[in-house]
Amino acid sequence: MTAAIRSFQGTAPRLGARVYVDPASVVIGDVTLGDDCSVWPMTVIRGDMHRIRIGARVSIQDGSVLHITHASDFNPQGFPLTVGDDVTVGHKAILHGATLGNRILVGMGATVMDGATVDDEVIIAAGALVTPGKHLASGYVYAGNPAKPMRPLKDSERAFFTYTAGNYVSLKDRFLADA
């Protein structure tokens, strides 16, 4: 196991086929990365006190932090982190104990907090703050602090979800071939 991929208390991350984890990032504990995912430099994915499940063709950009909320008297179930398929997480984003669907773009520096739920096909603008427990409905661009729907998605933006996911699959394949 590389320094970038570490067990915690006997639980090791599980990687799907053709996953790229940059050696300057860290993936710890109860984490599953689906096929064709990419984890870029300085990213932290820490499944130490709850589970993190990440679907296929997800790109986690540089400096992002993905974490959970543990179960306690204050929150008996805790909040795992779940990310669907074809999701692009921009540089320095924070995803914490939330549930994100498929075909989502999380902008650079955006934060999605505990118990938030993001439906399929959503853009979360750069710097947006999705507050605890917030629900983001499908088909909109959300921006601001706190995040609010700004406008419906355009057809070109809907097409971009799978384009950008595919673009990062291609890039990570080049990194894997270069290793």
Residue 153 clears pLDDT 90, i.e. is over it = yes
pLDDT tens, 8-48?
A: 999 999 999 999 999 999 999 999 999 999 999 999 999 99
pLDDT band at 179 (very low <50, low <70, confident <90, very high): confident
Mean per-residue pLDDT of the chain:
97
pLDDT tens, 56-88?
A: 999 999 999 999 999 999 999 999 999 999 999
22, exposed or middle or buried, with CB in 10 Å at 0-12, 13-18, 19+?
middle
Q: Which pair of tokens denotes residue 77?
A: 């179930």
Confidence at residue 1, expressed as pLDDT on a 0 to 100 scale: 61
pLDDT tens, 38-48?
A: 999 999 999 99
Residue 29 to residue 56: CA distance in whole angstroms? 19
Q: Which pair of tokens denotes residue 114?
A: 């505990």
pTM reported for the whole predicted model: 0.97
Instruction: Show Cβ contacts of residue 79 under 8 Å, excluding neighbours closer than 6 positions.
Output: 50, 68, 69, 96, 97, 98, 114, 115
pLDDT band at 143 (very low <50, low <70, confident <90, very high): very high
- Residue 146 sits in a domain whose CATH number is 2.160.10.10
Domain of residue 170, residue span? 5-178
CB 96 within 8 A of CB 90: no
Domain count, the chain: 1
Confidence at residue 151, expressed as pLDDT on a 0 to 100 scale: 98
